[in-house]
Amino acid sequence: MKSVRTLLPYEEIQGPFTGLEVEPDAILSVIGKIRVRLPLEMKSELEPMIGQWIALLRTDLAPQDYRCRTIMLRQEDHTQNEEMKRDE
């Protein structure tokens, strides 16, 4: 099983968001090839983003320690993303 990361303050991760699992105390998100542990409160914000390319930034700014956004890819980025999926 792959290890699970918890982002440090001001650490960012970007990539295709392929899914999430709900655990009793957190959610596990799969962004690219990395599994990231996130607060349960983010579930409703993240679910609509499954299947999109996202950027996730952890901050130290309460009450919302994480910032998440979708990223619009250029055509050449879409081509590279498809090639990456085939290589997996």
pLDDT in tens, 33-87: 999 999 999 999 999 999 999 999 999 887 779 999 999 876 555 555 555 555 5
pLDDT in tens, 2-14: 789 999 999 999 9
CB contact set of 75 (below 8 Å; sequence gap of 6+) = none
Structural domains in the chain, CATH included, are: 4-87 (2.40.50)
Higher pLDDT, 20 or 1: 20
